[in-house]
Structure 1
């Protein structure tokens, strides 16, 4: 008969962007990643048929059921390796298919504070440093530049930069995603088409731009599924028929991109619309509503914001067609359900050389996380 036992591991609980989650040294987990599931799912409070994760560190929504596993890197072009883990709320599954832009904001500061980059140098004598990060989910490099307390050589979280969707202010973290195109499929346009027509099981069709920049996304027009581009996430999430249809669209998009439709974390569906004249005059270039793990996102996953911002510069895509006053711009302002985010991209010879976004992060707690495992 199986018996339950309680164990623990050291971890830091951090907010990164509009998400939060556990930051863990890879050396504190089993070497074999297949052994992570019972540990991390229990630590986060999954599986939970009630969807609350009341028995763990999660809080029942996709943006707060996340784990970052970090270690020193043996690569010449990186200081640390980082694996992102999305923990299924109801089933406790571990999804490591894609990266998370929000939690990526926390990786550099965590790595510095934990002594994983002991030889870090301040930039030009200023109180800033850059940590080079290799994301194992996408096999891509990103650079994290952030404020440092020079006297203590640790991350300085205090500042006057704000992120819509997060109360208060913090020091600005700049993430530069190098060569972000084809993070999972090898190409920014996996089907080679700026727009595809997806045929759904019910016999209907929908137009979609299938782009893979930082993370794969299925971009559709809000009007094509019969909703306003400014729809509230709660209204969107409570429309069960529409949510079911959007999941069918996501699955067909995944198949067309050569991805596994059963993997919930990628691709994600994003609904697009043009700003009103007043919104455009206020600097908004495009409006979006995003889904994540079959939930309406309260803001927008930052890797999908990166994807959307870069897609605005790809001729013929729905983003390119929908965006207002974005042509030739180095950055795009995206309005989402909680405010706005500005993302930038650098194009060279028609390819996306890098994509930029800003965020904040903060250490919330540090200690030991307890989990239960069965033993015979």
Structure 2
């Protein structure tokens, strides 16, 4: 066994962090990525800690973005999101990550994949084609007087301490990212038959990334449950995985793919939460773990779903009529997401993030047996 190394950035994107890599440093054949990318993240790791790599044992920090110049007319760069299995080292590229998408534009500028164009307001727009979902995302962010990404600013997001510069992400034509339709079954609510012969109501929606939405009360937990407490209920976690798998089957997706669809528990806000402007409460699961916040692509899905008549999100959210944005309460705070709808079509989904380059250099991986 030996080790090799290649250039990489370690970045925070929203409430996630991970490696961002120029595709030219990886084999052209994606089937050869697994041993390399698993090793750099410290997987497989039966202890679940990824101490021998750049990961830190939770799904939101076991992530990689692979970026390259695009040959498409409608994009500046191509971006492929990779979720690395912590214990087994598997690579899951079925869906995208909204948080790490916010790191792509700053990386592309810093790495020389895009050039700064003259702008009176010192903002740069980078169009990225996400290969996981075959959708275009537009990232707009600040640059300094040298034409470099400027991470400093006064914008704050829940789940990240301090402030940073604002990054606006527009997910263009987000409906049907994996299944081709916002409502893959054609129904606002489906009755799912589970492996234990029980049933549960669920809304199956595919906007930015597919999701399975159920009511927290139908699962038997409070809507504001702490993620650690939710994760400790092994029987409920098993049931939620059964629900996720049943939803995947109904949408015509591979139920064994952990990254999509994800499952979200919904509940209405309390009077105190409503006074803070929150329209709906959610608790999310990602890769079999209770999420500390909410996966951003699922937040986009949830926000847009609140405007689809008859969905559980639409029936649960409060005071959303006529609004183009929805405030979602999650385990780490709240998040505002927006959508632009014209003639019943979702033209774009909008969210706001921050990002920072934490380190750049070389990352090493093991080779051989």
Cα deviation for residue 40 of structure 1 reads: 0.3
Paired residues in the alignment total: 369
Partner SS, residue 230 of structure 1: coil
Please, which of 227, 231, 246 is the counterpart of residue 233 of structure 1?
227
2:108 to 104, 111, 125: 111
Whole-Å separation in 2 of the counterparts to 1:323 and 1:211: 16
Mapped partners of 2:315, 2:81: distance in 1: 32
Could you list the per-position Cα deviations for residues 287-342 of structure 1 after superposition, in whole angstroms to 9, with x for gaps in the alignment? 00000000000000000000000000000000000000011101000000000000
1:185-217 CA distances to partner (integer Å, 9 max, x unpaired)?
A: 000000000000000011110000000000000
Which residues in structure 2 correspond to 1:146-295 (within 5 Å)? 146-149=141-144, 151-295=145-289
Residue from 331, 337, 361 that aligns with 1:343? 337
Q: Is 2:13 aligned against 1:16?
A: yes
CA contact (8 A) 1:122 1:128 kept: no
Among 311, 318, 326, the residue aligned to 2:312:
318
Alignment match of 1:83 (pick from 69, 80, 85)? 80
Q: 1:95 matched to which residue of 2?
A: 92
Following the alignment from structure 1 to structure 2, what is the Cα–Cα distance between the partners of residues 122 and 309?
Answer: 34
TM-score by length of 1: 0.97
Q: Does 1:67 align with 2:37?
A: no
Secondary structure at 2:339 match in 1: strand
Displacement of 1:154 in angstroms is 1.1
State the shift of 1:122 in Å. Answer: 4.3
Q: Is the 8 A contact 1:84 1:137 kept in 2?
A: yes
Verify: 1:121 aligned to 2:110, yes or no.
Answer: no
What's the CA shift for 1:29?
0.2
State TM-score, norm by structure 2: 0.99
Residue 223 of structure 1 aligns to a residue in which SS? helix
Secondary structure, in 3 states, of the residue corresponding to 2:368? strand
Q: Does 1:145 align with 2:122?
A: no
CA distance in 2, matches of 1:61, 1:327: 37
Unaligned runs of 5+ in 1: none
Determine the structure 1 residue equivalent to 2:49: 52
SS in 2 for 1:183: coil
Q: 2:31 maps to which residue?
A: 34
After superposition, what is the alpha-carbon deviation per residue over 1:71-112, rounded to whole angstroms, capped at 9, x for unaligned?
000000000000000000000000000000000000001001
Residue number in structure 2 paired with 1:304: 298
SS at match of 2:104: helix
Name the Cα RMSD after superposition: 0.7
Match of 2:353 in 1: 359
Measured in 2, the distance between the counterparts of 1:152 and 1:9 equals: 27
- Secondary structure at the residue paired with 1:154? coil
1:6 Cα shift?
Answer: 0.4
Q: Distance in 2 between matches of 1:98 and 1:298?
A: 19
Instruction: Show the counterpart of 1:136.
Output: 131
Q: Secondary structure at the match of 1:357?
A: strand
